[in-house]
Amino acid sequence: FIIGAIEAYRTWKESKELHDTGDDNERDDEESDAIVRQTSYDQAFEQARQEIESHISNLGPYDFQNLVSELLIAMGYHVRHVAPPGPDGGIDIVVFTDPIGAKAPRIIVQVKHRQSKAAAKEVRELDSLLRKEGDVGLFVSSGGFTTDAEREVRSASRHIDTMDLDRLITLWEKNYDKLRENGKALLPLVKLHFLAPTEE
């Protein structure tokens, strides 16, 4: 995408330079440069995001669960439990805000890694697991949430937060430098710097 846009622009610019001169042409060139820069930026961002999403979608359910756990650790939480393969009773991860779990809240995390959206019934099931005073829930769904599920989150008896794939990736990028090495291995990223598009 990016190479095609740049090559097309270069061909157009060379042709234009053969026929045009003057101040108007300089302004046209500046505007064209800005357009190409914006297009390249948009295409680079979109391509990178698609590659990241594809990589995550190819992770197995337990690798995805570990990905969520590593993200929470990087965000400063203390993970006390990550469910091993097999029946987990609906609790995939248990997280605290302090190292020994003495302070509320206890965060009960439900993780669903699939293309389909999480349904209202699953939100109610998470809500039923929040039994201790101060418990909060976090529902992570790579497939997103149905409208009914989002409504159920808002009406739940305890606080429940949600994390879809877009939010997970944004938080992963934001906290990448704080990730442990085994976390980075699950979703390795590299920073790429290039000229920012012109702001209007």
pLDDT at 189: 95
Do you find a cis peptide bond into 188, omega within 30 degrees of 0?
no
pLDDT digits (tens, 9 = 90+) for 3-43: 455 555 556 556 655 555 555 556 666 677 777 767 777 78
Residue 54 vs residues 3, 58, 66, 130, 142: alpha-carbon distances, Å:
22, 6, 17, 33, 11
* Residue that is written with structure tokens 């702001």 in the block: 199
- pLDDT of res. 40: 73
CB contact at 8 A, 73 and 92:
no
117/114 Cα distance (integer angstroms) = 8
Enumerate residue ranges in the chain where pLDDT < 50: 1-3
pLDDT per residue over 65-79, tens digit each?
Answer: 999 999 999 999 999
Helix boundaries (H) for 58-159: 61-74, 120-129, 147-155
What does the pLDDT read at residue 4? 52
Q: Could you identify the residue written with the tokens 């944004």?
A: 170
Residue 144 per-residue DSSP state: -
